[in-house]
Amino acid sequence: MAQDFSFDVVSRVNLQGVEDAVNMVMKEIANRFDFKGSISRIELNKKDNQLVIFAEDDNRLRTVQDMLATRLVKRGVPLKNFDYKNAEAAENSSVRQTVKIVQGLPSDKAKAVVQMVKGSGRKAIPSIQGEQVRVVSKSKDELQAIIVLLKSGDFGVDLQFENYR
């Protein structure tokens, strides 16, 4: 009897890396000369998977965003999984921006992954299981070809491949 091989396609963000990046940005804001007396800050809400960036004006908001993006990249956290909402006015003529951290594979992205695998003509069976997609095949070579195919596609989120067996 032939054994089936499989792997899972997931999209996860390392929240510890995000927390470290936020702490580093907060230290940099406290030490930078151009941010002296600034109310700029970043709040991380792990429970809701979101960041809130506060700043005096749009220029400082963009500067804090750039500082955060730099720190996230250095920590190996994918920037594709951050959904920046529009900046809104906050108290004392400051601005606030909410950034949603996308954890898991949203259903529309999972459907796109399944369609790409089915449309490739490879002998593999994709199935959506909650916030991940499992791909099963009788051949490890087919699975490796599908991983290469999925890496070449752009789904708007960073894909990771787990439980390759």
Same domain for 109 and 52, yes or no, is no
- pLDDT tens for residues 6-27? 999 999 999 999 999 999 999 9
pTM score of the predicted model: 0.84
What are the residues facing 129 on neighbouring strands?
A: 132
Same domain for 24 and 94, yes or no, is yes
CATH number at residue 77: 3.30.70.990
Q: Which residues contact 66 (CB under 8 A, 6 or more apart)?
A: none
pLDDT of residue 1: 34
Query: Is a pLDDT exceeding 70 seen at residue 163?
Result: yes
Domain end call among 101, 130, 154: 101
Structural domain boundaries, residue 55:
15-101
Same domain for 26 and 79, yes or no, is yes
- Name which of 54, 59, 57, 84 is nearest 69 in CA terms: 84
pLDDT of residue 2: 53
Tokens encoding 47: 């429970």
Same domain for 65 and 87, yes or no, is yes
Same domain for 97 and 109, yes or no, is no
- pLDDT tens for residues 46-65? 999 999 999 999 999 999 99
Same domain for 96 and 141, yes or no, is no
Same domain for 73 and 116, yes or no, is no
Q: 36-62 burial, b for 16+ CB within 10 Å, e for fewer?
A: eebebebebeeeebbbbbbbbeeebbe
Strands 82-84 and 5-10: unpaired
Same domain for 93 and 79, yes or no, is yes
Q: How many domains does the chain have?
A: 2
Same domain for 122 and 94, yes or no, is no
Domain end call among 69, 86, 101: 101
Same domain for 84 and 19, yes or no, is yes
- pLDDT tens for residues 75-132? 999 999 999 999 998 888 889 999 999 999 999 999 999 999 999 888 999 999 989 9
Same domain for 45 and 84, yes or no, is yes
Domain end call among 101, 120, 149: 101
Helix (H) or strand (E) holding 76: none
Same domain for 35 and 96, yes or no, is yes
Q: What does the alpha-carbon distance between residue 64 and residue 25 come to, in Å, rounded to a whole number?
A: 8
